[in-house]
Amino acid sequence: MASIRKADYYSMKVSQRPGAGAMLLGVMKKAGVNLLAFTGFPEGGGAQVDFIPENGAKFRSAAKKAGLRVSKRKTVFLVRGDDRVGALTGILGRLAKARINLIALDAVTAGKRRYGAIFWVKKKDLGRASRLLGAR
Residue 125 has pLDDT above 90, yes or no: yes
- The model carries a pTM of 0.91
What pLDDT shows up at residue 1?
A: 77
What pLDDT shows up at residue 80?
A: 96
Question: Rounded distance, CA 1 to CA 54, Å?
Answer: 22
Thinking of the domain 75-133, which architecture would CATH place it in?
2-Layer Sandwich (3.30)
Thinking of the domain 9-72, which architecture would CATH place it in?
2-Layer Sandwich (3.30)
Residue 13 has pLDDT above 90, yes or no: yes
Confidence of residue 70 (pLDDT cuts 50, 70, 90): very high
Contacts of 123 (CB under 8 A, 6+ apart): 74, 75
The domain limits of the chain are 9-72, 75-133
Mean pLDDT on 52-72: 97
